[in-house]
Amino acid sequence: MLNSKTTLLFDFDGTIADSLHRLLQISNSFAEEYGFQKIEEKDIPLFRTKSTLEAFRELNVPLLKVPVIAAKVKKAFQQEVHLSRPFPQMKEVLEQLSLVFCLGILTSNSEHNVGQFLKTHKLNHFDFIYTSSNLFGKSRSLRRIMREKAIKMSEIVYIGDEMRDIEAAKNIGMDMIAVSWGAHTEKVLATLKPTYIVHKPSELLTLLQA
């Protein structure tokens, strides 16, 4: 099924960049101001089993204020996104994949800051970076990327770490590889039946170069 692929589209945070802990620290810094519960380090495994909306409800995050909170967290995080590190093996895997595929990124971070991260960690293997500020509108972004880049559905696969990544791809019929090292656990990801699940970056090479 993957031998016809020409383009690999990666999510950024939690898939390429190991940024979950720093994102949670920044989110916690706004907890008192907006009246929601902080996530303690010991609670991270539990929250990796919950969808984004379930996590918001569990933490008593006011849903009407989610756009405002998300914007503030995003702004604070973008100022230091380059300080995050790639997941182990990621650099070598991306280098190998770039020899065969066109690589792209779909992210809610700014193109400038993602570019800074890639430059800092010598991950200059990507052909394009596409940014989207819509927290739950990735399906639209996936369609737009295909349209603007003239990529057929049969030629692209999306790679991400969250339940909403799987949902976005399935909504439009796109093949999707879920990675279990990011925001959500393998068990949770499996409930949504992505096309494939991998557990470490090197497995992408095995799967995509078979």
- Read off the pLDDT of residues 128-155 as tens digits, 9 standing for 90 and up: 999 887 655 789 999 999 999 999 999 9
Q: Which residues of 171-204 are buried (b: 16+ CB within 10 A; e: fewer)?
A: eeebbbbbbbbbbbeeebbeebebbbbbeebebb
> Residue ranges of the alpha helices (H) in the chain?
20-28, 31-34, 44-47, 52-58, 66-78, 90-97, 111-120, 138-149, 163-172, 186-191, 202-208
Please report, for residues 52, 100, 140, 153, 194, the alpha-carbon distance to residue 144 in angstroms, rounded to integers and kept in the order given: 24, 23, 6, 12, 21
100 and 196: one domain? Answer: yes
38 and 135: one domain? Answer: no
Give the global pTM: 0.86
| Residue 101, burial from CB neighbour count under 10 angstroms (0-12, 13-18, 19+) | buried
The pLDDT of residue 154 is 96
48 is in which domain, residue-wise? 20-81
Q: Which of 34-38, 70-74, 95-99, 115-119 has the lowest mean pLDDT?
A: 70-74
122 and 186: one domain? Answer: yes
Give the domain CATH number at 137.
3.40.50.1000
96 and 70: one domain? Answer: no
